[in-house]
Amino acid sequence: MKEDCLHSRKVVIIGCGFVGAACAFALMQSGLFSEIVLIDSDHAKAEGEALDISHGVPFAKPVKIYAGSYDDVRDASMIILSAGANQKAGETRLDLVHKNIEVFEAVLPQIQKSGFKGILLVVTNPVDILTTVAQRYAGLPENKVFGSGTVLDTARLKYELGKHLNVDPRSVHAFIIGEHGDSEIAAWSSANVSGIELNRFCQMRGHLHSKKTMQKIAEDVKNSAYEIIEKKKATYYGIAMAVKRICEAVVRDEKSILPISSMIHNMYGVDGVCLSMPAIVGKDGVETLVPIKLNDDESEKLKKSAEMLKNVLGQHSKAIGAFHCLQKGLVEEEYFVQERPEKSGTSARIQ
């Protein structure tokens, strides 16, 4: 199918839990799409969410919202992949790896089989790990498969800085980079408020001991999800707004710079893993990464974040390898005979 056959204003949301439903609601209000398809393993749940959200259409712009199947995927311009287990109190995002790789084993072959050629946005956690998996097995070009990354974490950082400095958070320009999780990094060395270097702006606002405050803000941002989950069992409104913002950049071809999760190739000493760095995002997905200024400490933390993600991928290489077998029609034992690195103490190589 040619890309010009895609329905540019059709989006499919796979997974109608808290996050998927909140994304559908946010997108209904946005006016970005004229057709929103909801897919879930529990079809009745998808039908219920579609019906409930549709009742708000008279207060928004015209949009068709319905529960569908993978037959509806082929001509969509975007898929938002939010299927998977939710993070529970006491869990880290990385605790979800095995469960959600299993979910992706069921979902990704269906996407590939449909002939989908649009943009695949991964939202399911751990988003960096699952974006890496999706890039390998969705059958799409690398630039068209990316994750929501630290777009939400960055919004949380801007919100906290805006509150601290008593300025509009939209005037704050700062990024959270690396893993969407416990090893994420606040890139303070490139942070500014409307072009004014952050430390200088803090002094302008009467904050003379900003380093300690910045460290606290970074920790609060990192732990935001844990706090919300502890209080209300799940997070979904913030990520839904982050997804809407990413969709705006794609649908309108805005060339916006957003810290999405994408494959890193030989940048800051990082290679071969998906994590979040600022990137130009438009109608074709990830156009290019933006090399922001990092100091030595931030660069080192970024490398450690990448290594941690690679280690997690290595620990789950057998499950990912079995996924590879399912797609290739191989017996799992055969796969590991074929793919095992020669004379290496590591686990089977992930392709």
| Residue of 69 and 8 predicted with greater confidence | 69
**Do 147 and 274 touch, CB atoms closer than 8 A?**
yes
Q: CA dist 60 to 20, 28, 55, 144, Å?
A: 19, 7, 10, 29
pLDDT at position 165 = 95
- So what's the pLDDT on residue 228? 94
The residue ranges of DSSP E strands in 238-308, in sequence order, are 256-258, 261-264, 273-276, 279-282, 285-289
Question: Residue 45's pLDDT is what?
Answer: 97
Return the higher-pLDDT residue of 1 and 117. 117
Q: What is the pLDDT of residues 306-344, one digit of tens each?
A: 999 999 988 877 666 655 555 555 333 332 233 323 333
**DSSP readout, 105-160?**
HHHHHHHHHHT--SEEEE-SSSHHHHHHHHHHHS-S-GGGEEE-TTHHHHHHHHHH
> What percent of the chain shows pLDDT beyond 70?
88
* Residue 85 pLDDT: 80
| 348, pLDDT greater than 50 | no
Average pLDDT over residues 204-220: 89
pLDDT digits (tens, 9 = 90+) for 277-310: 999 999 999 999 999 999 999 999 999 999 999 9
pLDDT above 90: percentage of residues in the chain: 78
Specify the pairing of strand 176-177 against strand 256-258: unpaired
Give whole-number Cα distances, 277 to 2, 120, 174, 312, in Å.
30, 18, 12, 19
Cα–Cα dist 132/145, whole Å:
9
Contact 171, 160 (CB under 8 A): no
User: Could you give all domains of the chain from N- to C-terminal order, each with its CATH number?
Assistant: 3-147 (3.40.50.720), 151-309 (3.90.110.10)
Residues 104-112, mean pLDDT to the nearest whole number: 94
pLDDT digits (tens, 9 = 90+) for 126-183: 999 999 999 998 999 999 999 999 999 999 999 999 999 999 999 999 999 999 999 9
**Cα-flanking dihedrals φ and ψ of residue 176, to 5°?**
-95, 130
Tell which wins on pLDDT, 233 or 338.
233
Residue tagged active-site, from 43, 173, 180, 324 = 180
When mean pLDDT is compared across 57-61, 117-121, 343-347, the lowest value belongs to 343-347
Output the average pLDDT for the chain. 88
Residue-level pLDDT at 341: 31
Is residue 173 annotated as part of the catalytic site, yes or no? no
Identify the pLDDT of residue 349: 23
Give the pLDDT of residue 315.
Answer: 83
Token pair for residue 234?
A: 């799940």
* Residue 260 or residue 342, greater confidence: 260
> In terms of pTM, does the model score above 0.95?
no
pLDDT bin (cut points 50, 70, 90) of residue 75 is: very high
pLDDT value, residue 325: 56
